[in-house]
Structure 1
Amino acid sequence: MSNLPGLHATPGYHHVTITEARRTVYLAGQCPLDADGQVVRGDVLAQTDQVVANTATALATAGATPEDVVRTVIYVATEEREVLSAVWARLTASGIGTASTLLGVARLGYPGQLVELDVTAALR
C-alpha cells in the first residue's frame, strides 16, 4: 500500500494497493445484524462495532485477517460530516478500514440500518 508522489496526502488510507495475492476474498456487504439476524439498535457507532465484529468473523471463516484487507467501501446513511467522520475513525481504529471509500447514502437495505461495509481481502 502506498501514497504516490504527485497525489494529495490522505487521512488514513492509501491511493494504491498492489498485492501478490494467490487468493482473493470478497465479502458481501457486512451489515449491523446480530446472531439472530436483527439490526443492532442504538447509534451509528454501535452498528459500526457490529459490522466490524461480523467482518472479522467472515474474514476468519475465509482464512483471512484484517491485515489481509486491501479495499473497503463504507456506506453510512447520513449527510452529516461528523457522523461520517466518527464511523471512519471507528473503522480505521479497528484495522479493517485501511484502504477505504466512505459514502454517505440516503438509505440502506434493512429498516434502521445505518452502516454497511463492502470488503475485499487478498491472501498471499
Structure 2
Amino acid sequence: MRKQFITPKGTHAAATYSYAVRAGNTIYLAGHVGRDANGKVVEGGIAAQTEQAFQNLRRTLEAADATLGDLVKLTIHLTDIEMMTVVREVRARYLTPPMPASTAVEVVRLAPDVLIEIDGTAVVDDTD
C-alpha cells in the first residue's frame, strides 16, 4: 500500500513530524493546534485556538484530497476540560452529522500557550 506524507500549504513548517499520513483510503492526522501559518499560537483563548485548529485540520485534509466530512474519529486534548463547551460550539460550525466518534481528554499541559490539540482519522470513500 502506498503511503503519502502530507504537508499542507498555509500551516507552519513541522520538521519533526508529518501533519498527516494517507495510507490507502485512510488518513491519520497528527495533533493540530491553534497556530497560524507562521507557527504563532493565535490570541483569543480557547475559541480562537479551536477555530484555528479546525482550519488547520481542514487544510491538511484538503491536501490529502479529503474533507472534514471524511473524519471518522477525533481526539481532543484540553488543558482544562471545562473549556469543552466552547470547543463544542466551534466544532459545530465545522462538522455536520453524522458526527465522527470523539474523545475529549484533559491533559496537564501542551506546548507553551497551547490550550487545545486535536488529532483524528479520516476515511475517504472509494471512487471506483
Structure ranking higher on relative contact order (CA contacts 8 Å, 6+ apart): 1
Q: Using a 3 Å threshold, how does the CA distance of structure 1 residues 79 and 123 change in structure 2: closer, same or farther?
A: closer
Cα distance in 1 for partners of 2:49, 2:117 equals 9
Give distance in 1, aligned partners of 2:25 and 2:100: 19
After TM superposition, list the pairs within 5 Å mapping 1:61-80 onto structure 2. 61-80=63-82
**Partner Cα separation in structure 1 for residue 71 and residue 52 of structure 2:** 18
Paired residues of 1:32 and 1:113 also in contact (CA < 8 A)? yes
User: CA contact under 8 A between 2:81 and 2:105: conserved in structure 1?
Assistant: no
- Note the 1:1-124 alignment, pairs <5 A: 23-80=25-82, 83-95=83-95, 98-108=100-110, 110-124=111-125
Instruction: Report the 3-state secondary structure (helix = DSSP H, G, I; strand = E; otherwise coil) of the residue aligned with 1:120.
Output: strand
Equivalent pairs, count: 100
Contact persistence 1:72–1:119 (CA under 8 A) = yes
Q: Tell me the CA shift for residue 119 of structure 1.
A: 1.3
Deviation at 1:52, TM superposition (A): 0.6
8 A Cα contact 2:34 2:116, kept in partner: yes
What stretches of structure 1 move > 3 A for 4+ residues in a row? Answer: none
Deviation digits for residues 78-116 of structure 1 (CA, Å, limit 9, x no counterpart): 142xx11221232133107632101121111x2100011
Contact kept, 8 Å, 1:92 with 1:98, in 2: the verdict is no
Question: Alpha carbons of 1:111 and 1:119: their partners in 2 closer, same or farther (altered >3 Å)?
Answer: same
% same residue: 37
TM-score (norm 2): 0.72
CA distance in 1, matches of 2:100, 2:42: 24
Q: Is the 8 A contact 1:30 1:55 kept in 2?
A: yes
Deviation for aligned residue 1:60: 0.1
